[in-house]
Amino acid sequence: MVQFVQQPRRVDAPGNKVINEYFGRLATGTETVSIAWMVAPPGWTEPPQQPEFNEYTIVLSGTLMVTLRGEELVVRRGEAVLVEKGEWVQYSTTEGAEYIAICMPAFSPQLAHRQE
């Protein structure tokens, strides 16, 4: 089987971040993986979360801050990070960033366990 996605599905996100989901629960009904192109504006911060999915992130431009318990990673253009399920994490950016996020299983707000 082949799935051809002509355009992503825009997904609501906290703050002004834009999520363009190509594969995932909303775009294609896929529950095993989600693949999305994210555009985070300068000064964006996502609520902390402790997700039930592994999240692989590849930064295409800008800088993404990944705050873990007791550690902050600065992920720049061309770099990548894996945050495994069950980890407490908070994503943010000072200058803005574009990145690809791959979640396994597919992202859902219920599995993210965001702390509001």
* pLDDT tens, position by position, 53-96: 999 999 999 999 999 998 999 999 999 999 999 999 999 999 99
In a domain, 6, yes or no: no
H or E element at residue 116: none
Task: Tell me the per-residue pLDDT of 12-46, one tens digit each, with 9 for 90 and over.
Answer: 787 789 999 999 999 999 999 999 999 999 999 99
Confidence of residue 116 (pLDDT cuts 50, 70, 90): confident
Q: State the total domains in the chain.
A: 1
% of the chain beyond a pLDDT of 70: 100
The boundaries of the domain holding residue 29 are: 11-112
Q: Positive or negative CA dihedral for 96, 113, 58, 99?
A: negative
**Residue 67, pLDDT score:** 98
What confidence score (pLDDT) does residue 1 get? 86
Here the CATH number for the domain that contains residue 52 is 2.60.120.10
- Which strand (E) or helix (H) includes residue 112? helix 109-112
Instruction: Tell me whether residue 2 is in a domain.
Output: no
Q: Is residue 4 part of a domain?
A: no
pTM: 0.94
